[in-house]
Amino acid sequence: MNQISSNRRIVCPQCGYDDNPFTANHCLNCSSRLRSQSADGGDRDSPSRRNSIPWSVIPLAGLLLVTLGLFVLWRNSQPPTPPSSQPLTSQADFPREWQLYNSLRDVPDVPEGVFLYGGAMASAALRAKNIQSEITRAHPKFRLLYTDPLNVPPDSGKGIEMTANGEISFSESFRPIQQSEYNIVRSRGYTLKQVPVALGGIAFYSHPGVKLSGISLGQIQEIYSGKITNWRQLGGSNLPIVPVSQDPDAKASTSFLLQGMPSSQRRFGKNVQIVRDTTSAIRKVAAMPGGIGYGAQALVVGQQTVEPLSLAKGRSRNYVPAAAPDGTVNQQALLDGSYPLIRRIFVVYREDGSLDEVAGRAYANLLLSTEGQKLVDRAGYVPIR
């Protein structure tokens, strides 16, 4: 006889009484606890019955899973945040993955092979033979070859582009990576890393015949936009001004020379002459009595054919000399922040797991070592540690 009768009664397992109502919990005859069952014979108090998930909960759980998935996709699609542009002043400021070494020889994981690199002309002093020979002496199988881009002048932007495209292993940049550059490489499945290794300034210089005590950034804007055309307007000699620029694209909209000007006025004067690099600019200015140009302090200070100009912020007359009294770069003005145009020099490389990444990281570590920072100082830049 089945426990559940045809008239939905329950048989007591203790005394056999078979007239207990289906809803009863205890036997009406002996008061023993009944195993209440469903109509199909299933145990109503079984764990599987108690732990089953109501069908009404399933749509809600599905909605939560879909929402979580959309959030993860959105998060992964966001561009990386560029590293901070604030100077690093002590070892505590460096990310944890960077360990600072004393000597060039102490730097580990320096790969063997020939590695192409490129980038800013402003960091050219770091590529001097006496600087590179120290790195070669410490790691003779780590060979570096500076590579110019084809058909266009070298600069920070072109170096970053060539690094992103895999044309070179890494580059040196006189400016931070731009957000648009991060976006491009992220769409390719990797990112770029920038590591600051030095500080440097941008110096303006003129032909020695100009006879000017100093110049402000506001006056420089008026010179390169064509508003001021004679040195006499600034208290100098009666000479036409010939501004020389080494902006590769000669685009006033992106040139630091005209930063801060209204977009409607941001255009170069007709008298601005474009040259390829700092060396060409110095030669051109030296050959023209009214010439003015610019370049990295490390490349300008000490030149015998041109005169570095003291520089003031805005339109003030608080001129700060580019050169120290001993004829070297005015590093103190860079360190105390009084010099108007200060830039950081970065080593830029791809983070893609390649040998190029290893080479870029090694080069940054070499320059950040104690000996490497002495090389930075010798090149005319300011060490950051």
Q: How confident is the model at residue 41 (pLDDT cuts 50, 70, 90)?
A: very low
pLDDT tens figures, 209-251? 998 989 999 999 999 999 999 999 999 999 999 999 986 555 5
Neighbours of 141 (CB within 10 A): 10
d(CA 261, CA 253) in angstroms, rounded, equals 10
d(CA 27, CA 41) in angstroms, rounded, equals 18
User: Residue 157 in contact with residue 126, Cβ under 8 Å?
Assistant: no
| Three-class SS state of 312 | strand
The residue assigned the tokens 């992220």 is 186
pLDDT tens figures, 246-282? 865 555 555 777 777 777 677 888 999 988 888 999 9
- The CA distances from residue 62 to 4, 52, 58, 69, in Å, are 38, 17, 6, 11
User: pLDDT higher for 352 or 3?
Assistant: 352
Q: Give the alpha-carbon dihedral of 26, 27, 33, 36, to 10 degrees.
A: -80
Q: Across all residues in the chain, what is the average pLDDT?
A: 82
- Count of all residues that appear for the chain in the document: 385
Q: Which residues, 6 or more positions from 187, have their beta carbon under 8 angstroms from its beta carbon?
A: none
d(CA 10, CA 19) in angstroms, rounded, equals 6
Give, for 313, the enclosing helix (H) or strand (E).
Answer: none
Q: Comparing C-alpha atoms, which of 130, 166, 118, 185 is closest to residue 347?
A: 118
- The CA distances from residue 339 to 218, 262, 354, in Å, are 15, 24, 39
d(CA 361, CA 195) in angstroms, rounded, equals 9
pLDDT tens figures, 118-132? 998 888 899 999 999
Give, for 157, the enclosing helix (H) or strand (E).
Answer: helix 156-164
Q: Residue 223's pLDDT is what?
A: 94
Q: What pTM did the predictor assign?
A: 0.70
